[in-house]
Amino acid sequence: MEEIRFSVTMKVKTMYRFLMHHGYAGMSGVINLIISGGALVLLLAGFGSTTGAKVALGVVAALFTVINPLYLYYKAAKQVKLAPMFAKPLDYNIGDGGITVSQGEENLTVLWDELRRVVETGTDFYVYLSLTRAYIFPKEDLGGQAEAFRAAVKEHVDPKLCKCRLKTPDGRQQ
């Protein structure tokens, strides 16, 4: 396998996409949206005879559709601004031995079998080291190496842990 090298300078929009994906992609995200939608339906149907009940339904309706996304954006901006690890670009070297991340004089190698999950979205790869910790690889920072990274993941990671997009025989992504 040819080594893949790239750098990532964390941006607020990238961190926000990760937090939104992490919060809304699973079953809990679906349930949260159903709760907000249900509260909106009840509000519009006229349930809640008192002003307090209407306000409560309005807050619940906005909780997971407006309030939480705004909070996640705030959290992303704060994390990118205050976390020392995001002050400088992170350099990644991906090869047969795993993923090596370095910044200045420090470096760390994560072996392929230490990865818990790899998820591909339209704009990013999320390489999970635990349930909540992940390396975020924006495709824009990978340049033309996204396909090589996808191939490396499929070669080294258990297919049950890899949620990468498939290519059709004519080269289109599914």
Distance, CA of 97 to chain centre:
24
| Domain range annotation of the chain | 4-9+87-163, 13-82
Specify the CATH class of 4-9+87-163 in words: mainly beta
> CB–CB of 161/118 below 8 Å?
yes
* Strands across the sheet containing 124-128: 134-138, 124-128, 117-120, 162-163
**pLDDT (0 to 100) of residue 174:** 46
pLDDT above 80 (res 34): yes
In this structure, are residues 111 and 98 in contact, taking their beta carbons and an 8 Å threshold? yes
Where residue 166 falls among pLDDT bands split at 50, 70, 90? Answer: low
pLDDT for residue 134: 94
Helix, strand or coil, per DSSP, at residue 115: coil
Write the pLDDT tens digit of every residue in 48-85. Answer: 778 898 999 999 999 999 999 999 999 999 999 999 99
pLDDT for the residue 99: 97
> pTM of the predicted model, to two decimals?
0.86
H-assigned helices in 45-87: 51-62, 68-82
For 150-159, write each residue's pLDDT tens digit.
Answer: 999 999 999 9
Q: Residues 85-108: what's their mean pLDDT?
A: 95
